[in-house]
Amino acid sequence: MKNIDIYDNGAAYMLMVDGMIVAHFSTLADAWLRIKWMHDVATQTFTVGKKQIPVNEWVAGMAAAGYID
């Protein structure tokens, strides 16, 4: 299963899929929203972060914490 990570290089937040940069964002919130979009709209299945949390659990946790709508 693919894993999504966010890397901050100091100029942008890089969205990485298995180590390959696929997108960049000026804010961390935009990167989080893209991950949510990939799950909700594009219906992709993957894990998130170093702990490889399943995306549905990650989205639920971020929403419960108030970070994303």
pLDDT at residue 69 greater than cutoff 90: no
Query: Quick one: pLDDT at residue 28?
Result: 96
- Which pTM does this prediction carry? 0.89
Mean of all residue pLDDT scores within the chain: 95
Mean pLDDT of the 24-53 span: 95
Q: What is the dihedral of CA 50, 56, 59, 60, to 10 degrees?
A: -120
In this predicted model, what pLDDT tens digit does every residue of 14-27 receive, in sequence order? 999 999 999 999 99
What is the arrangement of strands in the sheet containing 47-48, beginning at the earlier edge strand? 20-25, 13-17, 3-8, 47-48, 53-54
pLDDT at residue 48 greater than cutoff 90: yes
